[in-house]
A and B are shown apart, each in its own frame.
Chain A
């Protein structure tokens, strides 16, 4: 549907989805919106924003999927996004997805929504599993105790979805309820009242926040809100807050926020006791999940099982993907041939033919070849995530990755990087913490991807025929060592003080639904094609132009722009031992895709790829050849990787940083190898 058409309609009603991670919120979102989804980013952050439309009796509801959170504090970016959306975007209703098998913790979020005074419909999800566990939930009772409509659902089977939608459609027309005022006990209530009175006199604050809610949050020690008060010079409220917290600490003998949390859980506990009956005792319920976990998280078996699964993912992505990539490459080659023949036949100018075939068709081809591995990878990741295994993998790898200063979940993206950095970087989406995610993205290009292999094979084969395997292995090792080093460096320099404690839920194992898997794979994969594709395509066309202009020059000859840039840059590469125009130009082309380095050298030295290993022995020494391989490994990620970094960090700044640091690091390492090698050489001789 076009944006213009939407603008003409009467103001649409907005319904936001809130809920804990693993509560089935995504499934409910998929059920409600079907394929009418749009994925973007929340402004300024890397968190995904999903929007969709649902239609109920002709009324269109805009559905916004808020990030999955356990609370609405200011603990994480996710919580703030959810909270700010509810406070400032004023959705017309909120569907709160609650995991029926884990009521107490899920209702903690529900309670906070009610304290904000928003219109809530609860989707009580996973009712089938709750029944299996012997939980008898009296929905009507729970509904009347909480004072909100509750609809039992089984999202994986699309049960109860229509009813949820109907309740939400009714809810958007109602007026907001007054905020739930939980009794926090005489002492705390006294201080809440004082703060609330002060806040009530301030139109700026009352317009933004429910007064009582703000008072409670301030007493809880919410840093964001205190900061906001400070910035807006609300000194009297802050002074009262200081006084209140001190007074309460003395009276209560402990932290206020702990007491507030206890009261909330106490209230929830009371509600759950009245509305839920357990028909089986805990001991009877050694679940299937526990039995799987006995093997999967086992001290000795955990790691082998994990490595086996990673190997399967790797094989699935690249072994299954490579033939498809071959098909796409072949198709584009023949398309190229047909197009140039046709164009020659009608007498089109040579430059135009080259532009259409090498530029446009070649550019499209270089985007499309990434589709098979990326879609397959996202399918594999979706299976691991939706089944519940991903959380276990993080648990198992955390002890090892911890030593490297990274999160357990960083392992998979780095491993995938050995196949291709693009899906590797996209796989960092499974990391919730921004710092871990950025570091994993930044060091990912140091994982030597398969595209760099042809370069190693050529040079190692020509210069170190007896030790080819070892030379190539040393480059992989160098990449890993540098990744560890840079990871530590980034962590201590760029992200100082941002400590994220490791705690995560291990949801019960579930069989993923096909529908869920495909929606997951599709939205992530198509996003790459749209966003990264345009950048890749643009750069391919740009490099075409540089090689063929000014008009009349031979492709990539010394007179072409690229040749001139090569000659200009060559002196800078001299300290690394390969200060030639050809090497510089090949490295520039290598930004398109690292394997292009080989082909470019072939063109520039005027031989095919067959004669290349002969020719390079005249232009490189074994030492400068090794330095050149080191450079190829590290310098500037390929354009597709750059595009993926841009897409995933949602920031040109970080993208520029990734390009800049790798260029510097590559140059330094290549120079270091060459100069150290020379030094050692002179001593030996």
Chain B
């Protein structure tokens, strides 16, 4: 497990991470808070095409999908968790 945090936008599809910090302004943090993205939450990237928005899931509730702009994802700092590549792995990066 890596201890260094990095922006969510760099997390490849299928991987899980823990939210470490949100570096945006108050408005951004409020928006993310009410959608359930707060520090300590687990997120998983479902789709990340390296351009355009990402699709992620939050917490243990795996059925809620959020599309989130790349700019926003750059402001969510995460710490990677153990690689998980079971049936629930994300899709994307089909190439």
Pick the residue among A223, A278, A283, A503 that contacts B35 (CB under 8 A). Answer: A503
Known contacts being A282-B88, A501-B71, A502-B67, is A298 close to B94, with CB within 8 Å?
yes
Over the window 40-64 of chain B, the binary record of Cβ atoms lying under 8 Å from chain A Cβ atoms (1 yes, 0 no) is 1100001101011101001111111
A285 near B36: Cβ-Cβ < 8 Å: no
Q: Residue on B with the closest CB to A508?
A: B63
Considering the complex, give the chain B residue whose CB is closest to the CB of A299: B49
Task: Kindly state whether residue A346 has any CB partner on chain B within 8 Å.
Answer: no
Q: Are A221 and B34 in contact (CB under 8 A)?
A: no
Report how far A487 CA is from B24 CA in the complex, Å. 26
- B residues 45-93 with Cβ under 8 Å of A? 46-47, 49, 51-53, 55, 58-69, 71-72, 86-88, 91-93
Q: Secondary structure of the A side of the interface?
A: helix
Decide if A399 touches B52 in the complex (CB within 8 Å).
Answer: yes
Let me know if B53 and A133 touch, CB within 8 A: no
Task: Please give me the residue from chain A that is nearest to B35 by CB atom.
Answer: A70
How many residues from B make CB contacts under 8 Å with A?
46
CA distance A502 to B70 in the complex (A): 8
Shortest Cβ distance from B81 into chain A, in angstroms? 14
Over the window 277-311 of chain A, the binary record of Cβ atoms lying under 8 Å from chain B Cβ atoms (1 yes, 0 no) is: 01000111111011001100111100000000000
| Nearest neighbor of A79 in chain B, beta-carbon distance | B34
A255 and B29 in contact, given A282-B88, A299-B94, A300-B94 (Cβ under 8 angstroms): yes
8 A Cβ contacts from A66-83 to B:
69-71, 73, 75
CA distance A402 to B38 in the complex (A): 26
Nearest-CB distance from A80 to chain B (Å)? 13
Residue of A nearest to B44 (CB): A282
Which of B24, B33, B53, B93 is the one whose CB lies under 8 Å from A257?
Answer: B33
User: Which residues of the partner chain A approach B35 to less than 8 Å between Cβ atoms?
Assistant: 70, 105, 503, 505
Among the 9-residue stretches A156-164, A390-398, A544-552, A582-590, the one with 4 or more Cβ atoms under 8 Å from chain B is: A390-398
Does residue A104 face the partner (Cβ distance < 8 Å to B)? yes
Q: Could you name 18 residue pairs across A and B whose Cβ atoms are closer than 8 Å?
A: A70-B35, A71-B30, A71-B33, A101-B63, A103-B61, A258-B29, A258-B38, A261-B33, A261-B38, A265-B38, A285-B88, A298-B91, A395-B55, A402-B69, A501-B28, A502-B72, A503-B35, A506-B65
Task: Name A residues whose Cβ lies closer than 8 Å to a Cβ of B.
Answer: 69-71, 73, 75, 101-105, 108-109, 133, 221, 223, 255, 257-258, 261-262, 265, 278, 282-287, 289-290, 293-294, 297-300, 391, 394-395, 398-399, 402, 501-508
Apart from A223-B26, A502-B69, A503-B35, list 6 A-B contacts with CB within 8 A.
A69-B34, A261-B33, A285-B63, A502-B67, A505-B35, A507-B65
What 10 A-B pairs have minimum CB-CB distances, sorted nearest first? A399-B52, A502-B69, A71-B34, A506-B65, A70-B34, A105-B36, A395-B67, A261-B33, A282-B62, A283-B88
